[in-house]
Structure 1
Amino acid sequence: MRRAAEVWPLRPTVRYARTLAEALRAETIGGVIMLLATVAALVWANVSYDSYEALRTTTVGPSGLHLDMELYKWAQNGLLTVFFFVAGLEVKEEFVHGELANLRKAALPIIAAISGMVVPAIVYLAVSWGEENAAKGWAIPTATDIAFALAVLAVTASAMPAALRAFLLTCAVVDDLGAITIIAIFYTDHLDVVMLLVGAALLAAYGLLQRRRVRSLWILLPLAVLAWYFVEVSGVHATVAGVALGLLTRVTADGDEESSPAELADHYVRPFSAGFAVPVFAFLSAGVRLDGNSLSMIFSDRVVLGVMAGLVIGKFLGVFGGSWLSVRLGMARLSEELRWRDMAAVSLLGGIGFTVSLLIGDLAFGADQSRATAVTTGILAASLVASVLAAVLLHVRVRRRRNGLDDV
């Protein structure tokens, strides 16, 4: 006998609802700060590009440890590791206590997220086909920036059902897991196996200490930093260490604990990640000159067009199409508080790539400065277009709901 499809969203536990609310607040505020940092970078770069470029390419760090990196590289490999640590905590929380604890019941956001990564990549490859080295950038439009997306949702449609925010956050968790997997597999140029094995051993030791209920930061923090270092010098992108540490952190509290280590880490680290780490990365990555030459490349370089089409069109088709498909196949059902036009609006928010898209763009085309700059401009433009389209549709949906016309 065929089992009935689960209604999504599921009824959250009190613990998960509390964690979700805290995450939404921090990411929404972080999105606003990141927007300000992006605007500041664009203004500085267009007033005095030489001084902006001199800042972001300033080299700091001990060369003997192979950590003499430019500031923007420190932002990518250091600060974004904190961002992906929080992402790892989110993934672990979702799989143990959240919407992903039962994969069959979470079919809607899982299928939407996976489709929301596959379809943009296909759109990108179709548009950029034939351009030199275009294949390197296939993963750029697969990412969604949850902070920006939640900020747009909060500012334009705070009255919309909380289920929409839960759907967006759950999709983003799956999206982040896919992004870090892509970075680890497809964007590792060289590999020092010995260093990687040492890093893996340190990560295993961290996980073992978590299982043994070791709580001392004086032990766990140095171990985490060492694991980051060895993964970094191995050639695998250091953000992989961040998400691995998050996944290895214990999310279940013992009887004598008010909060689990993951809850405590999320409580203290997420504000730093959302309010400082990601905005600084945005500031050091988003400063591009918006002159006639750079803007013309948006419409003449099919790689950039592919990135924009992948984010604005591919993400919408992927997320919305995946959601519709999961319901059409009987794998899930929308709750009574959601409408398909609501899902369409939130699917447009998936086109806000930004943070991870900028990272992958630099990994793909960093050696070609002119194309890397054009791709960055394309990501910013696509994220802006997706934000405006989503904001307009969300505003319409809020107005129709208030007027009692939300049955369509």
Structure 2
Amino acid sequence: MDMQSKAKKLIKMIQTAPVEWKPLGEVGLLVRGNGLQKKDFTESGVPAIHYGQIYTYYGNQTDKTLSFVSPELAEKLKKVDKGDVVITNTSENIEDVGKALLYLGEEQAVTGGHATIFKPSKEIVGKFFVYFTQTEIFDKAKRKFAKGTKVIDVSATDMAKIQIPIPPLETQKKIVKILDKFTELEATLEAELALRKRQYRYYRDFLLDFDNQIGGGIADGYQCRLKDVVWKTLGEVAEYSKNRICSDKLNEHNYVGVDNLLQNREGKKLSGYVPSEGKMTEYIVNDILIGNIRPYLKKIWQADCTGGTNGDVLVIRVTDEKVNPKYLYQVLADDKFFAFNMKHAKGAKMPRGSKTAIMQYKIPIPPLSEQEKIVAILDKFDTLTHSISEGLPYEIALRRKQYEYYRGQLLSFPKAA
């Protein structure tokens, strides 16, 4: 029987079998951690779980920690034992409050005051509770107890009041096993995506290394190409968009601000803000949009539609017919360009790239036939690593939807009459 068949069979049983709901405080001990400051963390010592790591680095469980405190301080702090669940109490975002992590480390760890340690009784499997904290039921429950505006907190006392379904232990273990499998499948795809992104960077560096800056003779394999390369400044082959577009033609799909451009060449997301009046800088298909605030974030996107943007985003348009716009995108998406941009940026806290200096950036221009070969290779990696309709991100999104569906069904127990 495959995983989905097992899940459907278990869902049917859950929907018909009675289940008891209990306050979390009745099925385990909740202990609020001690206060910890940045200065308390060291490079080695006693393992410590910083509450931020629960939603930044870890998944559903971990057997190691990324932080440490001194042995002297650890003696005074609350301990996390193997099998305990660490829950975040405090965050600027309500979504991050209540995130849970099953700790499986052999050594004792300690935790700070922004987290609560849940020590499960024999009635409940720790991992089962971790999965339950990811449901809408738990989300609605925690929001009722949330206090604060800028910093939101759900106390250990209030966390203890949240009602938790307690099916038989054997049922809990089966649910955990199925959801673990879905999680593993998604993790496998995530690892594959990370590998493909590294390959993408390698081939971009290799194919665009016309001046052999990488060293070690990486360009020696295609010396015949190098004699035909012409070097020009960006300003000689492209220009900034001078066109304007009315705000009434913009929406969440085609308005691009620096906030909805994604870091590390990941493209863009839907905009959470669209201007309601005035005119904006217009971009058209194949224009290259670059976030000009904090260039080290490497925000860049090649347009696949017509839209508008503001002064914080540069719109670069190819003017030389001997330059393939997609080739120019790959050159500007290279780390060397972002390093150049940062070198000439002005400002400390919020550096801004120099529009004048950017146009002086040197671009290698091989023959169009060579540009097309480079684009063909790199476009395949781009599709594989970024496409939401056919690449690995699409596969991951499907797996995530499947996981969320079965998680919702497996953890939707009927309330007592």
| TM-score bracket for the superposition, by shorter chain length | under 0.3
Larger RCO: Structure 1 or Structure 2 (Cα < 8 Å, ≥ 6 residues apart)? Answer: 1
Higher strand share goes to which structure? 2
Q: Which has the larger radius of gyration?
A: 2
Higher helix share goes to which structure? 1
